[in-house]
Structure 1
């Protein structure tokens, strides 16, 4: 890959002469290297590695989180079973997911190497890390509350994924609020849901103007768009979970829009 060097060199020569030629070739070299890395990262082989790592890490950390308080509750088991069911896994994949969950809940499970391996594979892509963390938050909220020990584990994981305590707290508030827009009958504001819950679900203050509201909504919908997540390496089987979040966000946004009409 040398197109960047050629173009950079020619432009540099035209603008600054011989010195510009050298500078242009150097800048072009950096561009070529960056392009090569991008193409390599987006290759089918690498995306397949990311998908495998995302799947493994999700269920390993789910098991670790579920065992955080010393025991795995029936609600946590049901939530994990629900996730597996929603993913539509075949018998072999289901067995693999359960085995990973059990490995994560074992006494000798090591958190740091697991997250470090995931970060290395996905190169710390923010969207992948955030999607993973939201999945784990969903598991922690299976009983509609987060115990202190679960919060501590989520904080450790969030830190390893390069999220600050403040960012984790906002994600927790958003996830809890989004849960108000998903019930047994479908998506929409559930009984007792307030307008403040809708704003919290979008991660914004209630006094934002319409432009900021729409911008926040579009950003969240873009972050959870199936095609974008698949392209980044989220397994197709897990896209359904992100789609659910999109529908909750949509319902919260509609509630706010209706209140402003």
Structure 2
């Protein structure tokens, strides 16, 4: 099974809510159902104190206040415990028996973030494809070819295409999906930049950047708090213009910018799209390849501008 299918299958201990949870449930019902078919039990959110129901131990998200917490049994006395994520120590002291209880590790949390990110990318791609009318098989083929371009394996492609299809049918608005993504990756604008870049690439894949596609993407740019300059810099990579002018637009600097300004902007963009930095924030493996392609374009633009200036 490819990385995306494995990621979904590995969510057995997680309860993903919101529009992405609904899309995941529809796209991978047999995997998601098997993860949530255990007898349910009730408990209270450690933050808002609302009563909740869960189907198993693991990490969950409160649908009322979005607090992330872990449900687990004390291995010493069997008591049920609720621990908010972000607890300073990786070990909790059981209030019933005083024994040490190990909390969810960072790797589990990172796997969850990668799953949420991948879901949002392909769900929003589905919404984008439908934004200007009914989606044709040709448009699905465009997305499929795009998956080939970023190196997705066959199994992951099938899961991603199913997410894409279910997102088109989902009653949830693209803004709801974007808000859930924004909440998960709050304070990490690099992830939003890569997502917008991905959507622009999908929009341009059929050779036409329609008004409806432009409207949706520009609304998401504003929702994520990206600047107009950042958006135009991303757009420039797909908009054929005079070569040197296009390189300036890719970097998001004017032709009369000083060498120091260009170097500073180049460093900023490299930091935003560097695969190592994005991997540490939860970007999925094949999407890292997409970010790497973008990084190559940024470096090429910088190189060509400096060559034109005789530097």
- TM-score computed with the length of structure 1 as normaliser: 0.72
**Distance apart, 1:172 and its partner CA:** 4.2
| Structure 1 partner of 2:289 | 240
1:51 to 82, 106, 114: 114
Question: Within the alignment, does 1:149 sit opposite 2:149 as a pair?
Answer: no
Contact 2:182 2:224 in 1 (8 A): yes
**Distance apart, 1:120 and its partner CA:** 2.4
Q: Identify if the C-alpha distance between structure 1 residues 126 and 172 changes in structure 2 by more than 3 Å, giving closer, same or farther.
A: closer
Higher normalized helix content (fraction of residues): 1
Q: CA offsets per residue over residues 8-31 of structure 1, 9 Å max, x none?
A: xxxxxxxxxxxxxxxxxxxxxxxx
Q: Where do residues 1-261 of structure 1 align in structure 2 (5 Å cutoff)?
A: 36=88, 43-72=106-135, 76-106=139-169, 108-163=171-226, 167=227, 169-179=228-238, 193-261=242-310
Q: Identify if the C-alpha distance between structure 1 residues 75 and 256 changes in structure 2 by more than 3 Å, giving closer, same or farther.
A: farther
Q: CA offsets per residue over residues 105-160 of structure 1, 9 Å max, x none?
A: 22624323322222222234211112111111111122344211111211332333
Q: Tell me how far apart the structure 2 counterparts of residues 214 and 41 of structure 1 sit (CA, whole Å).
A: 42
Q: Tell me how far apart the structure 2 counterparts of residues 35 and 206 of structure 1 sit (CA, whole Å).
A: 49
Q: Identify if the C-alpha distance between structure 1 residues 237 and 148 changes in structure 2 by more than 3 Å, giving closer, same or farther.
A: same
Contact 1:79 1:142 in 2 (8 A): yes
Q: CA offsets per residue over residues 156-175 of structure 1, 9 Å max, x none?
A: 32333233xxx2x4344323
Q: Tell me how far apart the structure 2 counterparts of residues 208 and 174 of structure 1 sit (CA, whole Å).
A: 15
Q: CA offsets per residue over residues 92-113 of structure 1, 9 Å max, x none?
A: 3222101111122226243233
Q: Provide the aligned C-alpha RMSD in A.
A: 2.8
Q: Which stretch of the first structure deviates more once superposed, 135-144 or 62-71?
A: 135-144
Helix, strand or coil at the partner of 2:238: helix
Q: Identify if the C-alpha distance between structure 1 residues 195 and 100 changes in structure 2 by more than 3 Å, giving closer, same or farther.
A: same
Higher normalized strand content (fraction of residues): 2
Q: Tell me how far apart the structure 1 counterparts of residues 244 and 143 of structure 2 sit (CA, whole Å).
A: 30
Q: Tell me how far apart the structure 1 counterparts of residues 269 and 201 of structure 2 sit (CA, whole Å).
A: 17
Contact 1:178 1:252 in 2 (8 A): no
Q: Identify if the C-alpha distance between structure 1 residues 73 and 218 changes in structure 2 by more than 3 Å, giving closer, same or farther.
A: farther
Q: CA offsets per residue over residues 54-88 of structure 1, 9 Å max, x none?
A: 10000000010011110335664344113321343
Q: Tell me how far apart the structure 1 counterparts of residues 198 and 105 of structure 2 sit (CA, whole Å).
A: 24
* Number of equivalences: 213
Unaligned runs of 5+ in 2: 1-85, 90-102
After the TM superposition, list the runs of 4 or more consecutive aligned residues in structure 1 that deviate by more than 6 angstroms: none
